[in-house]
C-alpha cells in the first residue's frame, strides 16, 4: 500500500486539527488564569496577576499539593514493589490461574472508578470498621497503580529473555545477587517509566479518592473540586492547572528520553 500524497496530507491536516482542538480548552484555562473576570467570561475583560500571587500564598492549595505528593509517592512505591513481583511471576513461570491473575491486575482500571471507590468505601467502613484516613486513600491508589508498573515491567521482561540471568547463575551468582546486579539494572528504566505513570495516575485521581478519603484529607483534586465553583477561588484553580501542565513537561521529557534511548539500543 502506498498512500498518495493527497491522503498523507489529508491525514496530517486531520491530525493537526484534532490535536489543535485538544489544546484549545487548556489555552482557555491559561488565559482565564490572568483574567479579571471570575465568571469565565470570554473574551476576558482585562488582565491581572492577582490570581497567580494568591495561588502561591494560598495555604489550602499548598497543603493539598503536599498531601497529594505524599499519597502519590507512597502508593507509587507500593505499586512498584507489587508490580515488579507479579510481572516476574507471570513472565517467568507458567502455572494454573495465570490468565485469571493477569485479568485481576487490570480489573481496577477496567472497572469504572466509582466501583473501586464504593467497594473500598464499603470494605473499610462497613466491614472492617476502619475510619477513612490518608492511609485508606494510599491503599486504594496503590491498588490501581499496580497495573501501570506491571505493564512496563512485563514488556521489558519479555524483551530481555533469561540468557543473562542464566549466565549469571552459571558463573556462581545466587538468586539475590543475580537480581541485584543483572535483572534490576535492566529493569531500571522500565520501573522509572511505570513509576512516573503511577505517580501521575495517583496525583490526578478524584473518583476513588472521594470515596476513600477521610474528612480531613484534602488531596489536590479534592481541593480543586471544592473550590471550582466558588467565584473568588475559581481563577486560582486555573493557576494551579497551568502550573501542573508546566511541571508535567519534566516527567514527559524524561519518559521520552528513556524510550528514545531504548530505540537506539535496539
Q: State which residue, 15 or 66, has the beta carbon closest to another protein.
A: 15
CB of 154 to another protein, least distance (A): 10
Q: Which helix (H) or strand (E) holds 44?
A: none
Q: Of 40 and 70, which has the nearer Cβ to another protein?
A: 40
Nearer to another protein, 49 or 111 (CB): 111
Please state whether the peptide bond connecting residue 43 to the residue before it is cis, i.e. omega within 30 degrees of 0: yes
State the minimum distance, in angstroms, from the CB of residue 114 to another protein: 4
Q: How far is CA 158 from CA 80, 150, 181, 189, 264, in A?
A: 18, 12, 19, 15, 18
CA distance 201 to 71: 11
Q: Extract the C-alpha cell encoding 130.
A: 476502619
Sequence-distant (6+) residues with CB within 8 A of 263 are none
C-alpha cell at position 135: 492511609
Cell numbers that stand for 196 in this block: 512516573
Comparing CB distances to another protein, the nearer of 77 and 244 is: 244
Cα–Cα distances in angstroms (integers) from residue 229 to residues 38, 40, 41, 232, 236, in the given order: 10, 11, 14, 9, 11
Radius of gyration of the chain (CA): 23
Cβ closest to another protein, residue 54 vs residue 125 = 125
Amino acid at each position: 500500500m502506498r498512500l498518495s500524497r493527497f491522503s498523507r496530507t489529508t491525514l496530517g491536516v486531520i491530525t493537526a486539527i484534532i490535536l489543535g482542538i485538544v489544546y484549545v480548552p487548556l489555552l482557555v484555562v491559561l488565559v482565564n488564569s490572568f483574567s479579571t473576570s471570575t465568571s469565565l467570561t470570554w473574551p476576558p475583560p482585562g488582565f491581572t496577576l492577582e490570581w497567580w500571587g494568591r495561588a502561591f500564598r494560598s495555604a489550602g492549595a499548598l497543603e493539598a499539593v503536599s498531601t497529594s505528593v505524599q499519597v502519590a509517592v507512597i502508593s507509587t512505591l507500593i505499586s512498584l514493589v507489587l508490580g515488579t513481583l507479579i510481572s516476574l511471576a507471570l513472565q517467568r513461570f507458567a502455572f494454573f490461574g495465570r490468565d485469571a491473575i493477569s485479568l485481576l491486575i487490570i480489573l481496577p482500571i477496567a472497572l469504572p472508578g466509582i466501583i473501586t471507590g464504593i467497594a473500598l468505601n464499603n470494605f473499610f467502613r462497613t466491614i472492617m470498621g476502619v475510619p477513612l484516613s490518608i492511609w485508606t486513600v494510599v491503599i486504594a491508589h496503590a491498588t490501581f497503580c499496580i497495573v501501570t508498573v506491571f505493564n512496563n515491567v512485563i514488556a521489558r521482561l519479555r524483551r530481555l529473555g533469561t540468557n543473562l540471568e542464566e549466565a549469571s547463575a552459571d558463573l556462581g551468582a545466587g538468586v539475590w545477587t543475580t537480581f541485584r546486579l543483572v535483572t534490576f539494572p535492566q529493569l531500571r528504566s522500565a520501573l522509572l517509566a511505570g513509576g512516573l505513570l503511577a505517580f501521575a495516575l495517583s496525583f490526578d485521581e478524584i473518583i476513588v479518592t472521594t470515596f476513600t478519603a477521610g474528612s480531613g484529607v484534602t488531596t489536590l483534586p479534592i481541593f480543586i473540586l471544592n473550590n471550582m465553583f466558588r467565584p473568588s477561588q475559581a481563577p486560582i484553580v486555573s493557576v494551579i492547572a497551568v502550573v501542573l501542565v508546566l511541571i508535567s513537561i519534566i516527567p514527559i521529557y524524561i519518559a521520552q528520553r528513556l524510550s528514545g534511548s531504548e530505540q537506539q539500543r535496539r
